[in-house]
Structure 1
Amino acid sequence: MLHYPLTSYTISSDHELLDKENHISFEVRKILEGIQPDVLKGKSYLLKKLPRLIKQNPRVPVFKNLLATVHKERGEIEQAFKANRWLVKEHPNYLFGRLNLAVEYLDTAPEKIPGILGESMELQALYPNRKEFHIEEFIAFNQIAALYFLAINDLRQAEIRLEMMQSISPEHPKTNYLQERIQQFKLTDHSENQKIMQAHQAPKFNFPLQVQWLYEEDHDFPKNKIATILRLDRKPLIEDLKKVLQDSIIRFNYFIEEEDEIDFLLFPIHAIFFLEELEAEKALPEILEVLSQNEEYYEIIFGDFINEIVNSIIYSFGEHHLDQFFNFLKQPRIYTFSKSYISEAMLLLLKEKPNLREKVQAHYKSLLETFIEKKDDKTLVDQLAYGLIVSDIVELRMNALYPEIKKLYQLRLVDEDVCGTIEEVKKDIFSDPDQIQKDYSLPTASIYGKYEIWKKNYEDFLENEFKELEDEFGNLFDDDIFDDFEEDEDF
């Protein structure tokens, strides 16, 4: 029996785990083993035998699953779908029934799949009370999740699932199949149909009226509306806020085409503020998915306020989820400054919570070792990002990491324009520690304080921008500016 320890659950190859979950006795196991070869051949006698077995064993979902499989193998796709829908209705917690249903929608309506497999597309999130999963459950779930992400043109998330599958069962047929699909995807130009694949329909919310406020309000979010939202039932509210974040990704193209003023696509920031106030740590995967978006998303959604937002996220969720943030930094194809914002936020976290220093340093060590190990991975190597991260380590005076930093320099993986030569790095990292100067009030504020700070920052930004224009062009409201124009009666 094999066990693979993951962050929050274990993967086992022990079939007794599935038998226990699916009410399979020793006698039922013998029956299943006896008919399995004929199921894969679509033998017609099973269309009579399986209904009898289902009637005799109503608590065993596998027989219904096999009935759907037989129809599928015989090319009777509609009957297979009907059998599977019956399976899902009778056994809603049976994973393979859900996966079959997701497959049905892959080509026709992929936007329905998160409603079947969970908004975060994570196995543990779908079954939060389980601490152990069979390897076939793990492989099958992540294969379908990856195929879903390919269907919505999210290659990065699909590759993450493939990497997980390869780490557990690299030779599994489903792993090999997914690898081939991803290779085919890369050879196809998806730029033309990206707009088509993105959904235009808003999610269905538990609290549609209150959630709509997030789409309508700007930096000056009314306090009475904030209070009203916070009084809503916590669990369904968090579900809605997670959907808002996903909506900002799925319908991003739609929003920037439909909105007259794209400067005011602020609803993801509202959702993050509320999730922080609710201490909704289980929403971290959705938040990290937002932070993994490209430069255009960052500019339109976050603008110049991104540092404060990421600092706030790290302050709220960093202490107990350092592994997730540093795993994010190890992922390929992540926007350069997205990584730097997270790394820089660690300075503020350690200023506020210095007891975390040893843990943060251990994570940085693992991160640098990953950079060194994957020195030839062009999807990961980013000299500018590496330089910014090294600068943060130097500012934290984590001189125990100097050997790893030196190795990065020897491999020419660091942009010296960012953090200086290796001699300069050595001098600074071994010097007396300075007071960390990062001083943001936003992270430690309540949600009401966050909005006050955000509003003030935005007003200051507009004032400074206006002042710069006046410095360059003179008084923009000079009454004499119109003197050179002749009066026009038709004007």
Structure 2
Amino acid sequence: MPNPAYDRLPEHVKDDIERLYEQIWTKPRKAIPGLLEWIEKYPDVPTLYNYLTAAYSQSGQRKKTREVIEKNYQRNPDYLFARLNYANLCIRDGDYGKVGEIFEHKFDLKLLYPQRKRFHVTEVAGFMSTTGTYFFYAGKRESAEKCYELLEQIERNYPESGKTIEAQVTQLRWRLYPKTLWQRFMVWLSSRNQSAQGSDMQPS
């Protein structure tokens, strides 16, 4: 995704940020202080908040993860990954109406960002995963299945994309096509909890 604020950073800063990003997946707690320092110095770079979200999440700090997700969306509401993280938060809270607002009721990247002609594979996969999950809990199974089919295509066509997309495919498959009784029970329980937490879904 075009990120002018990040692109303008000095090369040595970008190198250190990428080093911290790699550290997120092995020693997330050690990456956090460095990310906080760069955010203090460059508060207008949305990528930094996204990386900090991942670091807090990987280290099991749920409250701080939520706080950073909310802050990033408040500061950078047009940044796709800020939208996706906040939408996933709202889905977990059962606030489906808010999900529609986050995406301006445009569940198509080309409609959401008409000025762009190309999207990175991680952007498309993240969008399909989040909107597919939203459609599933909103009772729009056909739309959820279309998102799942696109995710599967991405996984097949971009095997180098790593475990993130594989996990997104697995999670949506698990919801749509539970095989075991335990999986079916968990999907039912999750859907029941989602409905209890928020039934104010607005039409998309």
Q: Which residue of 2 aligns with 1:182?
A: 176
SS at the partner of 2:25?
helix
Deviation at 1:143, TM superposition (A): 0.4
Q: Indicate conservation of the 8 Å contact 2:46/2:79, yes or no.
A: yes
Q: 1:126 aligns with which of 112, 115, 130?
A: 112
Identity %: 21
Q: 1:48 aligns with which of 30, 33, 55?
A: 33
Task: Measure, in 1, the Cα distance between the counterparts of 2:122 and 2:73.
Answer: 19
Q: Indicate conservation of the 8 Å contact 2:128/2:151, yes or no.
A: yes
Aligned CA distance change for structure 1 residues 93 and 141 (closer, same or farther; 3 Å): same
Aligned CA distance change for structure 1 residues 28 and 158 (closer, same or farther; 3 Å): farther
SS at the partner of 1:93?
coil
Q: Which residue of 2 aligns with 1:23?
A: 6
Tell me which of the two structures has the higher relative contact order, counting C-alpha pairs closer than 8 angstroms and 6 or more residues apart. 2
Find out whether 1:66 has 2:51 as its counterpart. yes
1:311-350 aligned within 5 A:
none
Structure with bigger helix share is 2
Find out whether 1:96 has 2:81 as its counterpart. yes
Q: 1:144 aligns with which of 130, 136, 151?
A: 130
Q: Indicate conservation of the 8 Å contact 1:68/1:83, yes or no.
A: yes
Aligned CA distance change for structure 1 residues 81 and 126 (closer, same or farther; 3 Å): same
Structure 1 segments unaligned to the other structure (5+ residues): 1-17, 204-245, 247-285, 287-491
Deviation at 1:200, TM superposition (A): 5.7
Q: CA RMSD in A?
A: 2.9
Cα distance per residue 1:181-221 (max 9 Å; x no partner): 3222997486x95xx57x76485xxxxxxxxxxxxxxxxxx
Query: Which of the pair has more CA radius of gyration?
Result: 1
Task: Measure, in 2, the Cα distance between the counterparts of 1:110 and 1:89.
Answer: 17
Task: Measure, in 2, the Cα distance between the counterparts of 1:51 and 1:107.
Answer: 26
Cα distance per residue 1:363-382 (max 9 Å; x no partner): xxxxxxxxxxxxxxxxxxxx
Find out whether 1:163 has 2:156 as its counterpart. no
Deviation at 1:141, TM superposition (A): 0.7
Give the count of matched residue pairs: 185
Cα distance per residue 1:290-317 (max 9 Å; x no partner): xxxxxxxxxxxxxxxxxxxxxxxxxxxx
Structure 2 segments unaligned to the other structure (5+ residues): 160-164
Task: Measure, in 2, the Cα distance between the counterparts of 1:143 and 1:202.
Answer: 19
Letter in 2 for 1:178: L
Task: Measure, in 2, the Cα distance between the counterparts of 1:57 and 1:168.
Answer: 33
Deviation at 1:119, TM superposition (A): 1.1
Task: Measure, in 2, the Cα distance between the counterparts of 1:19 and 1:200.
Answer: 35
Runs of 4+ in structure 1 deviating by more than 4 angstroms, as ranges, are 19-22, 199-203
TM-score (norm 2): 0.76
Q: Indicate conservation of the 8 Å contact 1:110/1:151, yes or no.
A: no
Task: Measure, in 1, the Cα distance between the counterparts of 2:201 and 2:126.
Answer: 29
Aligned CA distance change for structure 1 residues 80 and 71 (closer, same or farther; 3 Å): same
Deviation at 1:21, TM superposition (A): 5.0
